[in-house]
Each structure stands twice: as structure tokens, then as C-alpha cells.
A and B are shown apart, each in its own frame.
Chain A
Amino acid sequence: MKTGDSYIFRAVGSFLFFVINVFAVYLLLRGHNLPGGGFIGGLGSALSLIMLSLAFGVREAQKVLRVDPTRLAAIGLLLAVVTGMLPLVVGEPFLRHFHWKLEELPLLGTLEVGTPLIFDIGIFLVVVGVTAKMIFVLFRSISGLTALNPSEWRRYAADLEEPVEREHSRSSSELETEDEP
């Protein structure tokens, strides 16, 4: 598939990328007591990655994300689970959350903070990671690339394995080779 050949789309896309992500973070922070939260925020952020993949091609989008999406999801999950487990240390049930009201802060005024936010950030990362992983694989397959890039291949494939695309075509010429990022 040819992507990234529209100048207008690229120009608007690189600007919209920030707008969408700001909105995603807004949804994340707004969550818990109002509609929003980690899940929907994460989906918003993942949406921006889809747009980048369409505008600039999947490799650019992967460079923007920088980290391995699988790891991102794992770190998010770890954050969420550890937040859920912390109350166990002080003898409270699993997933119990705490809130504090901070008053008269400079600039911000009264602020209500609580552990659900950390939990939600974890969920946000899980959603971004998992969605990014899925869309990258799909975009790579229609761009004639292997599903995993070389660094992921090193991490998530056994030594004996061969990319399923190559196994299928038996000629690596159809696949573009890819250098290390």
C-alpha cells in the first residue's frame, strides 16, 4: 500500500497528532468521576498512531512511538497491578483506592488526587501498547514488511523460527529488507 504521498494530509496530520494526544491525556485525567479514563484515553492516543501510519507510513509511526509496544503494554499492566496490590501491604483489600484533597496549591487551587489515576495511567499504557501492536502488524503486512521488525524479532521469536511471510513465499525478495532503527 502506498502511504504518505499527500502533502496536505502530512501537514495536517503532524499538527493533529498533538491535538489528539492532548485530548487523550485530558480524557485520562478527567476519568474516574466523569466520563473518560485510561481506556478511552488510550484508544484516543492509539488513534493518533493510526493517523500517523496513514500519513507518513508505518515505519515513521513506529519511530514516533520509540518503545516496543509489547513492553509498553507490559509496563502499563505492571503499573496497574502494583497499584491494585499496594493496599494489601497496609491490610486493605485488593484494588482498594485512596483519595486525598489537596487545598490551596499554588496555581492549581484545590486538587483532588487519588490512586485511581495511577491505575488509569497503567490502563492507558496497556491500551496504547496493545492497539499500537495490532495496528503496526496490520500496517506492516499491507506495506510488504514482515510482521515483526528486527529488534522485536530478536526478542519475541525462537532461534529456529522463520518469519511466516518468508515461510510462505520462500523468496525473501518480495519482502523489503529493513535496517535497524
Chain B
Amino acid sequence: MKDLVFALPILLPLLTAIVALLAGRRRWRRWLIGLSATAQLGVALVLAHGAYGQPPQVLGLGGWAAPYGIVLVIDLLAAIMLALGALTALAAILFGYAELPPEDENPLRLPLIQFLVTGINLAFCTADLFNLFVAFEVMLIASYALLTLEADDWDIKQAFPYLALNLVGSTLFLVAAGLTYGMFGSLNFAQIAERADALAGTPQLTLLALLFLTVFGMKAGVFPLFYWLPNSYPILPSPVAALYAGMLTKVGVYVLLRIFGQVLPPDLSLPHLLMAWLAAATMIFGVLGAVSRNFIRGILSFHILSQIGYMVLAIGLFTPYALAAAIFYIIHHIVVKSTLFLVGGTVVVLNRTDDLEKTGRLWLATPVLGVIFLLQALSLAGIPPLSGFWGKYMIIVEGLRQQEWVLVFCALLAGVLTLFSMLKIWNGAFWAAAAKEGVHTEERRWRPMAAVAGGMTVISLGIGFGAEFFLGVAHEAARQLLDRPAYIEFLLRGGG
């Protein structure tokens, strides 16, 4: 029974995807996928509850034990990520149901979303470097397909950098995996961690760490390798964009946390320093890109990068407190970011466009949507007591403690510019009078769409007001992550 529960985060979306693919375009398919997405969220929450304060759960695939077989490990951090992924996927799926009637939706979209979730979940659970590569490939191939599924010529041109850069990233990942195997004779996380301690401080290990930083930094969208992201996300249909914005780059951040926090030894000052400074550059360039854009999804896409900067900065500062801050920031960011994309999708339905020159009058037409947007935008900018404030506060406190004045200044500056670009959306879409086509409130579907966004906002408010609880969870997850001896001991000798 235990094995079944721990395999469920991967098996459930995979089976759902297959059944949905075989079902073609039947009507009951939506119920099936909706129920499955809800069940996935339930399973993830149960796993997170079980992982709190407990040693990680190990599942050896095929009955092979840790150093030889591939193992799935679910600790608190992985369980939190699974829950967030399931939540975002559920919101995206429900939003999609509200947005389009079943016959107008591409029948491949829902199966592909489930395949994407399978890949994401496998990346969260795995404790093997090559299996992680496989998980990335499953995730990326599903994401390539979703990106171009409903695309026209222009969209495909925008999607090309996404494909090209991710292919380069995958190749580098393979190189890094080969190098790791050459150095340690193993791809198992625990065994790498055990053997890496002996190499601490040598140039080989620094080189490997830099290679990992390049590969996963690229997936996370860290400066200067973020070019694939900001142009490709706006071509996605809004619910899929919300899922991408919430999860895909965060998989990269999660792996950075896992590799640098747990697998590699903690005394890698050069890669950590480099990570922190790249993060600062990501923040500033991301938010400047956002300021330069003039349509909602474009602004939000650049904001993903800017926010990634905060998380990676926290990893670069590399203290238990900073890693807890990064984990809390991920929890906050995934919910807020995907909600903002859902609000953007609702604006597209109401105004027929999200070009800020042509949108307007939404505050008069739908104050509710305005409140949802305002809460999430201010949270993104880090206004207390909303959820974004706590993450930023912790990161800045840690930066001040380490006397990194320039990094702290960059973080504060990015916060101010975030507020500025959010006000740009507010002015253009909600406050401005000039809506070229008027507001189409007669479209009934905007109400359920706004309801999904509202539900996510309630969760985000919960994170902000219940920050103490979530900070406790983040500290516990960071503690488990940094407890390398226990992880090695448990996986290689005591596990499962």
C-alpha cells in the first residue's frame, strides 16, 4: 500500500493522460481529468502532511535498493512542490473549462497537460541524476507540444528560441551527468553527496557545480540565458500559460535547491557567489523587460524572470535561513504568478485583447476582478501583509546580515520597479477609460474564470496571513534539505 501511495504522484497523471488520449473528445473526459487533478492535489497534501518532521520516504523502483536501482524520494520539499504543482494544474484545468466549451478546445491539450504534470512530478520525486534528465525530457517534450499545439506561423517563430535553448540545455545536462558519473561512479544523489565530500574544494567539483548552475539556471530562466522565456509564454493559451508560469521555471529552481543544498557539499563559495550576482542581474533585467512591455502577458512573463532572481539570490546566499526563504518564496510565487496569468486571461475575454493601449474600464465593469488583480499584484511587489512581503523580507534580512549591500539594493530596486509595472497594468486595463471595443461583460464565461482566479487569491491571502505556519514548513523543509548526513544514511543504508 505504501508503495502505491508514493508512486501515485507519477502514476495518476500518467494514467489520466493515457485514458484522456484514448478517449478522444468525449464529454466525460473533462470530468475524469478534473477529478484526477483534484485527487492529485489530495495525494500531494497527504504526502506533505506525512513528510513533516519525518525522514524522507524512499521508493525503490522495481524493488532495487538505492545505489543500484533508481529511487524516488519524497521529503517535505518534494511534497510541497508536488502540492503546488497539483494546485496550479487544477486551477489551469478548471480555468480552461470555464474559458472554452469542450468542442472548441483542442482535444490534445488536456492529455498533454497531464503528461507535463507527470514529468514535473517525476523531477520533484527522483533521487537520480539520469532519471532527473528523463523527467526533464518528458516535461520538455510535452511543453514543446503544448506550446505549438494551437499556434499559428508567428507563434511558432516565437516558440523557436524555447525549443532551441532547451535543447542546448538538455545536451549540457547530459554532459554534466556524464561528468558526474566519471567523477563519482554513480548518479544516485546520496552516493554523489557522500563521495563529493572527499572532493570538497577541488577545481573539478567547482567546475561541475558551475556546469550544474548553467544547466539548471537555464531551465530556471537565470540571466543571461533567459531569452527563451519572455517571448514564448505570451503565445500560450491563458490557462496553459498559467501552468507554465507557475511550474516550469520553478522546476529549475527546485533542482538548484536540491543539487546545491543537498547533493553538492556546502562550501562552494565561488558558485554560490556567482549565483547570487547572476540572480541580482536576473532581477534587474527581468523587471526592466517587464517595464518595457505593453501587453499584460508580456509584462507578466518578464516578471517571472525577475522573481526567479529573488529565489536564486536566496539560494546563492546559502544559509539555512536563506534556503527557507527561497522555499517560502517558491510557495508564494507559484500561487501568485499563476493567478496573475489567469487574471490576464480573463481580461482577454472581457476586452478581447490584452494590449494595454486598447484595454480599459474594467474597474467599473468588474470591481471583483480589479480587487483580485490588485491583491496579487501588490503581493508580487511585496507589500505587507501579503504573501510576497515575507519572502522578500527574509531574503533582504539575510542579505543585510551578510553585508551584501549591492545585492540588497538590487532586490529593493526590483521590488519598486515591479510595483511600477504592476501599476502600468492597473492603469491600462482597470483604470483607463479608453476601451476600444468596450467591456464584454455579457460573456457569461468570465464569471467562472474570475472565480478560479479568486480561489487562488484566497489561497495566496492565506499564505500571507498564515505566514507563520508556512514559514515553519519552509524552515522544516530547509532543515531536511541541509541534513545531508541523515539523507545519505537513510537512502544508502537505512532506507525504505
Contacts and interface: CB of A to CB of B under 8 A. Distances in A.
A binds B: yes
Given A74-B21, A75-B22, A158 B62 contact: no
| Number of chain B interface residues as a range | 20 to 34
A160 to B, nearest CB: 5
B104 A158 contact: yes
Interface stretch (A15-23, A30-38, A41-49, A85-93): A85-93
Interface in A96-151: 96-97
Contact of B63 (A96, A159, A160): A96
A77 interface: yes
Contacts of B153: 164, 167-168
A144 B193 CA distance: 55
A93 to B, nearest CB: 5
A78 B19 CA distance: 8
Contact of A81 (B1, B18, B108): B18
Contact of B107 (A85, A93, A155, A160): A155
Given A81-B18, A88-B3, A168-B153, A95 B62 contact: yes
A157 B63 contact: no
B11 interface: yes
Contacts of B18: 74, 77-78, 81
B218 to A, nearest CB: 26
Interface residues of A, number: 27
Interface string B91-124: 0000000000001111110000000000000000
Most-contacted residue by chain B among A91, A155, A158 (CB, 10 A): A158
A95 B104 contact: no
Contacts of A96: 62-63
B60 A158 contact: no
Interface string B300-329: 000000000000000000000000000000
A37 to B, nearest CB: 15
**Mostly helix, strand, loop or mixed at chain B's interface?**
helix
A97 B106 CA distance: 37
Given A156-B108, A157-B106, A160-B104, A94 B21 contact: no
Contact of B105 (A88, A93, A158): A158
Contacts of A164: 152-153
A71 B21 CA distance: 7
A78 B18 CA distance: 6
A97 B63 CA distance: 9
Nearest to A82: B15
B73 to A, nearest CB: 14
B59 A158 contact: no
B11 A85 contact: yes
Contacts of A168: 153
B3 A92 contact: yes
A180 interface: no
B101 to A, nearest CB: 9
B68 to A, nearest CB: 14
Contacts of A74: 18, 21-22
Given A70-B21, A81-B14, 19 more contacts: A71-B22, A74-B21, A74-B22, A75-B22, A77-B14, A85-B7, A87-B63, A91-B1, A93-B62, A94-B11, A94-B59, A96-B62, A155-B107, A156-B106, A158-B104, A159-B104, A161-B150, A167-B152, A168-B153
Interface of B: 1, 3-4, 7, 11, 14-15, 18-19, 21-22, 24-25, 59-63, 103-108, 150, 152-153
Interface of A: 70-71, 74-75, 77-78, 81, 85, 87-88, 91-97, 155-161, 164, 167-168
9 contacts: A74-B18, A92-B63, A94-B4, A97-B62, A155-B24, A157-B107, A158-B103, A158-B105, A167-B153
The 5 closest A-B CB pairs, nearest first, are A95-B62, A74-B21, A94-B7, A96-B63, A159-B103
